[in-house]
């Protein structure tokens, strides 16, 4: 007999969609997305560290190049050389992702993808910070800070999460 999805729990805040805990399949989805994100990010960082230096970047297009830089901060150069703060913020963010997913992961089919991208990107960059003391960034668009695949995954995850949350709020209002 097929397993029934968990019943939504009433939410004390009127207008908010009900919480629906994540089931086993949704956890598998989140963990698969996170794992693929981590592996892809780590492999590309190894290639960048072996192939490029800040003094010898590879120009791909007039506005895009591959390089190899060490980032001791977070987005847009914030908290440079403050690893304890950056690691603590990363651990808190990763913890929030998993707690939120456990409580509300069944709310929308895109939620495992969005949170898997966020968790995978955050975990991969956290691994770099703990293992090396910095994050390898290697993708450089003109007039934009250098970044990596984990950063791309985090950005896409945030956009998807906003879509999920806004759709849920819109559906709750109707």
Question: To the nearest whole percent, how much of the chain has pLDDT over 70?
Answer: 83
Domain count, the chain: 1
Residue 11, in any domain of the structure: no
pLDDT at 174: 46
8, 108 Cβ separation under 8 angstroms: no
Residue 109, in any domain of the structure: yes
Q: Which residues are catalytic?
A: 137, 151
Q: Report the candidate in 3, 174, 29, 11 with the shortest Cα–Cα distance to residue 108.
A: 29
Average pLDDT over residues 91-111: 88
Residue 149, in any domain of the structure: yes
Per DSSP, 16 falls in state S
86, 74 Cβ separation under 8 angstroms: yes
Q: Is the pTM of this model over 0.85?
A: no
76 vs 141, more confident: 141
pLDDT one-digit tens code per residue, 3-49 = 665 655 555 555 555 667 778 899 999 999 999 999 999 999 999 99
Residue 121, in any domain of the structure: yes
Band of residue 170 on the pLDDT scale cut at 50, 70, 90 = low
Average pLDDT over residues 88-106: 90
78 vs 103, more confident: 103
Average pLDDT over residues 110-136: 95
Residue 87, in any domain of the structure: yes
**Across-strand partners of 56?**
53
Per DSSP, 73 falls in state S
The pair of structure tokens assigned to 159 is 């956009």
Is the pLDDT at 127 greater than 50? The verdict is yes
Residue 77, in any domain of the structure: yes
Residue 165, in any domain of the structure: yes
Question: To the nearest whole percent, how much of the chain has pLDDT over 90?
Answer: 47
**Domain boundaries, position 135:** 24-173
160, 113 Cβ separation under 8 angstroms: yes
Per DSSP, 174 falls in state -
The span from the CA of 59 to the CA of 140, in Å, is 10
pLDDT one-digit tens code per residue, 131-140 = 999 999 999 9
Q: CA 44, 46, 48, 51 torsion: positive or negative?
A: negative
Band of residue 83 on the pLDDT scale cut at 50, 70, 90 = confident
């Amino acid at each position: 007999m097929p397993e029934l999805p968990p019943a939504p729990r009433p939410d004390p805040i009127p207008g908010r969609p009900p919480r629906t805990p994540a089931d086993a399949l949704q956890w598998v989805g989140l963990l698969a997305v996170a794992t693929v994100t981590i592996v892809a990010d780590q492999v590309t960082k190894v290639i960048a560290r072996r192939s490029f230096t800040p003094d010898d970047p590879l120009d791909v297009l007039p506005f895009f190049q591959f390089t190899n830089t060490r980032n001791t901060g977070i987005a847009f150069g914030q908290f440079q050389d403050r690893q304890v703060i950056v690691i603590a913020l990363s651990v808190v963010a990763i913890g929030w992702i998993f707690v939120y997913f456990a409580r509300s992961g069944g709310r929308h089919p895109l939620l495992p993808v969005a949170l898997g991208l966020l968790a995978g990107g955050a975990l991969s960059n956290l691994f770099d910070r703990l293992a090396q003391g910095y994050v390898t960034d290697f993708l450089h668009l003109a007039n934009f800070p250098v970044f990596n695949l984990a950063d791309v995954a985090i950005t896409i995850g945030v956009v998807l999460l906003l879509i999920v949350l806004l759709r849920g709020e819109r559906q709750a209002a109707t």
